Structure 1
Amino acid sequence: MKKIILIYIIFLFSSCKINGSFQGLYSYYHKTIKENPNLVTKYNSETDCDLAIENKVISINHINLKKCLNQHSKALIYIWKPKCKSEFCYALNIIQDRCLKNNIVLYVVAEYYDSKLMSIDYNLKRSIYGIDVEYYNTNLTEKYLPLFINGLTTNESKIDNFIFFEDGKFKESFQKINKIDNL
């Protein structure tokens, strides 16, 4: 019986495409900086709330993003998992189009860094944001992501990948893109 379980486990892992890493467990911030030193920049309060800086990812913490959210009557954060393949992962251009049609400001925040996928020129009105792991003093996604999200939503227990704000205040979170049309 033990041999059958071991063979099954080996088969399971050998049949999965892992791409050399388990994306989403770690931030990959330092790896991204090493691969593309000019890709990531730290948040600048003078310019970085409303600009799309070509081929730049802005590293930000919850305090500074909250300041950006306070500037808009309706804002949506999409927690983007660059390598996600589930039914709840959406193309950034499609989300941006939905937000534009509904007069909602979109902030795309990457859950972790990926130099290849973050270097693509998406049709976004703002730069992609990455969570400032140096601020949170950890590279573990399970540690910095809750600190970031709880700081934005005032400790909500269950948060989905879309987080909606009105006048800078957290209203709701949801998983499906069609909900944007009803905000």
Structure 2
Amino acid sequence: MISTIITNSEAILNAMEVPNHKRVFCIGALESRNITIHSQQIRAFNFCYAFILNKLSSLKQDKEAYNRINIKVKNERVRVAVVGCGFAGSIISQVLNRLVHEVKVFHKRQAAFDIHLKSNRVIHPSIFEWPHDGFSSDTTSLPFYNWKSEEVKHITNRFNENWNYFVEKIKILFIS
């Protein structure tokens, strides 16, 4: 259920960490239930929240650095690789690019959302939450990349516009 909330940043990171691979995280690829654009976005924001809080807790010893959160933590040389740049990967790379030294994205295709661009299918952000509260809300309320129920091609066009603006700021390696 999307509305499940884990408030402990360490618990979120532990839940997403790949077993036997320290500091390697998997964002929803092993999910067995419906995977929606909205659920991918929520998982991405949850991961970023946990990653940032975890980073901040290590900075608390340095009060000046802690108070200047808008400044990248370059002295630690934090590097992040994002494999797959769909809805979750694009959010993670954009959020963490503001905080870490280097973000590299590994992706199969040149366009991040191209597989959805020709689809006339109408999607709804929370219909799979039925019968729980909030299932009828036809708009998302996320920090960014919000959308409402409509044809997926319109949603992905807006995602692509944002992504294309951002893509020049990071290193993307296309793999086949």
Which one has more relative contact order, counting CA pairs under 8 Å at least 6 apart? 1
Normalising by the residue count of structure 1, what TM-score does the alignment of the two structures yield? Answer: 0.27
Q: Higher helix fraction: Structure 1 or Structure 2?
A: 2
Instruction: Name the TM-score, length of structure 2 as normaliser.
Output: 0.28
The structure having more radius of gyration, on CA atoms, is 1
